[in-house]
Amino acid sequence: MLKTKPFAALVALSAIFAACGGPAAKNGTIASPIADLPAVRLNYRYEADVPAPQLPVSAAEEKNAAVQADFDQNRPGESLDRTITSPDKKHVLAVYRAAADQASEYRLDIYAPDGKLERKISSDSMAVHFPDAISWAPNSAKAAFVAMTRRAAPTPSPSPGASPGTVKSTHPEASPTASPEPTVEATPPPETQPVAGTTPEAPKGILTFGTEQIYVCEADGTGVKPITQTEGLIYFYYDWAPDSSMVAALAITSREWEYFDGLAAMKGESWTPVGRLRVVETNGRERRLDDNLTAVRPVFSPDSTKVVTAFDTQIRIYDVVGTTPTQSAIPLRNQLLLSSQAFDREQQLKLKGQDANANANPAPTPTPDLSTTTLPDPKILVSFNPIVQVEWPQPELIYFRTAFIKRMQNDADSVTSFARWHRLILSGQPTAAQQK
């Protein structure tokens, strides 16, 4: 008789990653048996249908009351959207819009926790996009955000003879031969600089682009600079490394963005952005890690030496320390098929009430053992779905969630079903000396 037990032990397999090369671990990061190992030398064990990982609660931060009061009293023409407090609680980012700004365009200032405006971060020619991506580095030394050239920069009046048809496209097609020039806001000579008053002036001379790039600034709002400068690419998501040295980002060409977004709109769907993975250091050094598109947001290992993401039913781990990035692919389709088959059968038993009536039936028909030699047809398994989320909460544990997700323009019609958590338990591959 088949007993319904957790499926963590049902499909436990071990294999060696297939890749080459590897980095050395950084100083001052979390010590781990696998920290110094490249991905090629990692083993894994797959466990299906495990409890969700314990992750830090990322509830929406309430607006800083003092900052809100400053907007209410001194900035009536501007609307505060949210505030983001640094991990060390010393600075507060204020995300807001002016009355004439478009709905998707924001501005960014830095405040003290007591509500004193310290500095404006974004220039008048800069539009901050993707406000959900604005974040502090874990060490509170820097903040990062995504911005581009503002569609309609505020000007007192058009210059005499200026042509109204010279405005550049918001999302120009990426092309090595026809890219618009980046925009640099002119810095007025010292004698024409306005006299500083109680309200800091917006910065000038910041390089902006026709598509969304990643910017960083110091904790006090100074030193604003783009760390990506690829005109025609849209950087829409990034994740800070735990050691605050770099971000793992997803980017896609503006042409692809418009195509996929338009395709989804024709179906009444809301498109979930996909991008190609890269790591970008805070000094601007950028390395693309994969040519394939994914919607799964990448995360760093706790020691900042590796990045993980997923493609359909495959997990990929990338070594990001060193001059030559390397990767390891973990195909999990077969394991997910078998565990989904077991999951579906258990759900069917529950629906039929066999578990509840087991005591009333002294001689139930024995259920045959699950076959591990023949893979089930994925078309008949409702719980067999792609990987939609990865988390790396501990050095030796990678969690990933599979689910069916469909986002519609009418949010009431959106669907998320059969969300299941699984995990990989990592270990170091034995050396030749250990195998003897």
pTM of the predicted protein model: 0.80
pLDDT tens sequence across 104-155 = 999 999 999 999 999 999 999 999 999 999 999 999 999 999 999 998 644 4
Q: How far is Cα of residue 1 from the mean position of the Cα atoms in its chain?
A: 45
Select from 81, 61, 62 the least CA-distant residue to 71. 81
CA distance 366 to 368: 6
Which pLDDT score is estimated for 31? 41
Name which residue leads in pLDDT, 343 or 202: 343
The mean predicted confidence, pLDDT, of the chain is 83
Task: Report residue 10 as tokens.
Answer: 């049902």
58-72, 143-157, 220-234, 284-298: segment of lowest average pLDDT: 143-157
Q: Is 361 exposed, middle or buried (0-12, 13-18, 19+ CB in 10 A)?
A: exposed
Which pLDDT score is estimated for 157? 42
Share of the chain above pLDDT 90, in %: 66
Select from 153, 156, 189 the least CA-distant residue to 168. 153
- Helix H or strand E segment including 340: helix 333-352
φ, ψ of residue 110 to 5 degrees: the values are: -115, 130
Tell me how long the chain is: 436
5-19, 223-237, 279-293, 386-400: segment of lowest average pLDDT: 5-19
How confident is the model over 2-17, as a mean pLDDT? 39
Which pLDDT score is estimated for 169? 37
φ, ψ of residue 44 to 5 degrees: the values are: -145, 155
CA distance 272 to 61: 24
Which pLDDT score is estimated for 201? 86
64, HSE (Cβ side, Cα atoms, 13 Å): 24
Name which residue leads in pLDDT, 167 or 36: 36
Q: CB under 8 Å, gap of 24 or more: what pairs does 126-134 form?
A: 126/150, 126/206, 126/208, 127/101, 127/102, 127/151, 128/95, 129/104, 129/105, 129/212, 130/212, 130/236, 130/237, 131/81, 131/82, 131/95, 131/106, 133/236, 133/237, 133/238, 134/84, 134/93, 134/95, 134/108
How many C-beta atoms surround the C-beta of residue 152 within 10 A?
Answer: 11
Name which residue leads in pLDDT, 199 or 136: 136
pLDDT tens sequence across 248-292 = 999 999 999 999 999 999 999 999 999 999 999 999 999 999 999
Evaluate if residue 3 carries a pLDDT over 80: no
Distance, first Cα to last Cα, the chain: 42
Which pLDDT score is estimated for 185? 53
Name which residue leads in pLDDT, 430 or 163: 430
Q: Assign 350 to helix, strand or coil.
A: helix
